[in-house]
Amino acid sequence: MEHIEAIKEFGGWLNRYRHRSQACDCDMTFSVYLPPAAAQEKVPAVYWLSGLTCTDDNFRVKAGAQRYAAELGLALVIPDTSPRGAEVPDVPERYDLGQGAGFYVNATQSPWARHYRMYDYVTCELPALVEANLPITEARSITGHSMGGHGALICALREPERYRSVSAFAPICHPMACGWGQGCFKAYLGPNREDWVTYDAVRLIEEGAQAIPLLIDQGTADEFLAQQLHPASLERICAARDFPLTLRWQEDYDHSYHFIATFIGEHLAYHADKLRETRTTETATKPAAR
């Protein structure tokens, strides 16, 4: 882990790191905000997954999340959206495939399979790295936007034991049914649609994923709502399966970081409550020291 940047914000530190990723077989860059409380004790973390074309820089500059994280005592862990580098396959003429569009899957198809293993990176490698080297506990929550909202949902649905809570902003809820998802899934996972199911939130719930609370904010003026995001499909399957979904329709909000910045404080407070509840329960049930 090479520490390449440190900026003081709201009494804590916004840090950027570079490391050689085994999962993605390339150098990866990520950011971590450590709140003031991290100077005295380890703190829980909220993982933020960004959307198409983004890096870790978009969220940390535009969302205004650090102020809330400082007040709540939360670390923010902000990975990149895909592997990067001259040796990493890309389609420069497309924004929705290749670098910047990792889709948080483990690719199985050539030439993508060697590097595009963002699912393993986000769920396993990155948490192990930051928890071993920074004052961050194993208590994690996850959230994200658009493609990153899709990532947050599938990570939590597939591995609910890893996360205490999950939320999303305008997520791609049913990627098997939209152009963005179909294009990337066919390239990364191959033409057999059954191989796509484990990376689709709607299908995971349909197939019997463990019922965990989902919090989603969706703007009604989102330019990608009708063709790409499909929250209505998620709403229908959750209703059919009695799956706990809170889908908040936010009138006149679009797909931008203006939307995210408006509601990020509520999402972080939601995650802080869930992390606090779990820690309180664990403390109450822990045997007394002898």
Catalytic site positions: 146, 222, 255
The tokens describing 290, both together, are 């002898």
Q: At what angle do helices 257-285 and 65-72 cross, to 10 degrees?
A: 20
DSSP code at position 162: G
The tokens describing 272, both together, are 């802080």
Rounded CA-CA distance 45/139 in Å is 7
Helix H or strand E segment including 230? none
Three-state secondary structure call for residue 279: helix
The tokens describing 199, both together, are 């990376």
CB 275 within 8 A of CB 143: no
